[in-house]
């Protein structure tokens, strides 16, 4: 299973349960194969409109496609890990400025994941949405 996990800048709050699985940090400042670039994140956050989110989505999917070609082994290893374990992709996307869980690169990556990997074939749409919302915070 692959899901998302909301990370916290200043430490994990004690009232929020940690996911029971393997956490991969995929923030803009990491070299994770699913991490967005700082450039596309900053451009979106300067003006987080629907139009700019659509631009972000296009740029992020282009980035994933390029990385999939150039760093395929990392994707394959992550897919194998997710077929054998519960894997959570962690990020800082959910903020007061960007409170919508569906405007998060981890959600885009999970939805895109089903196109490429067998580990997603046994997950139905309701399970995907449950996984995405599992660590959603309301502001």
Q: Are 24 and 4 in contact (CB under 8 A)?
A: no
The answer, yes or no, to whether residue 139 has pLDDT greater than 80, is: no
DSSP bridge pairs for 91: 6
Q: Which two tokens stand for residue 50?
A: 């629907």
Q: Which pLDDT band, with edges at 50, 70 and 90, does 16 fall under?
A: confident
Q: How far apart are CA 114 and CA 127, in angstroms?
A: 12
Q: How far apart are CA 93 and CA 108, in angstroms?
A: 12
Q: Are 23 and 90 in contact (CB under 8 A)?
A: yes
Structure pTM? 0.81
Q: Which of the two residues, 122 and 20, has the higher pLDDT score?
A: 20
DSSP bridge pairs for 5: 90
Domain ranges, ordered by start, for the chain: 2-133
Q: How far apart are CA 75 and CA 53, in angstroms?
A: 24
Q: Name the percent of the chain lying above pLDDT 90.
A: 44
For the ranges 10-14, 51-55, 133-137, the one whose mean pLDDT is highest: 51-55
- Please write the tens of the pLDDT for every residue from 54-113: 999 999 999 999 999 999 999 889 988 988 898 999 899 888 888 888 899 998 998 887
Q: Which pLDDT band, with edges at 50, 70 and 90, does 19 fall under?
A: confident
The answer, yes or no, to whether residue 23 has pLDDT greater than 70, is: yes
Q: Which of the two residues, 116 and 119, has the higher pLDDT score?
A: 116
Based on its alpha-carbon atoms, the radius of gyration of the chain, rounded to whole angstroms, reads: 14
For the ranges 16-20, 42-46, 95-99, 116-120, the one whose mean pLDDT is highest: 42-46
* pLDDT mean across residues, the chain: 83
**Of the candidates 81, 84, 103, 120, which has an alpha carbon nearest to the alpha carbon of residue 6?**
103
**DSSP 8-state assignment for residue 118:** G
């Amino acid at each position: 299973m692959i899901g998302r996990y909301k990370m916290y800048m200043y430490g994990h709050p004690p009232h929020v349960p940690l996911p029971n699985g393997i956490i991969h940090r995929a923030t803009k400042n990491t070299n994770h194969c699913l991490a967005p670039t700082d450039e596309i994140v900053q451009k979106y956050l300067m003006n987080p409109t629907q139009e700019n989110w659509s631009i972000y989505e296009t740029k992020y999917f282009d980035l994933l496609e390029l990385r999939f070609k150039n760093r395929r082994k990392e994707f394959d290893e992550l897919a194998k890990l997710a077929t054998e374990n519960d894997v959570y992709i962690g990020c800082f996307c959910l903020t007061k400025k960007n409170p919508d869980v569906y405007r998060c690169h981890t959600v885009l990556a999970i939805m895109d994941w089903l196109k490429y990997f067998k580990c997603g074939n046994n997950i139905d749409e309701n399970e995907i949405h449950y996984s995405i919302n599992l660590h959603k915070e309301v502001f």
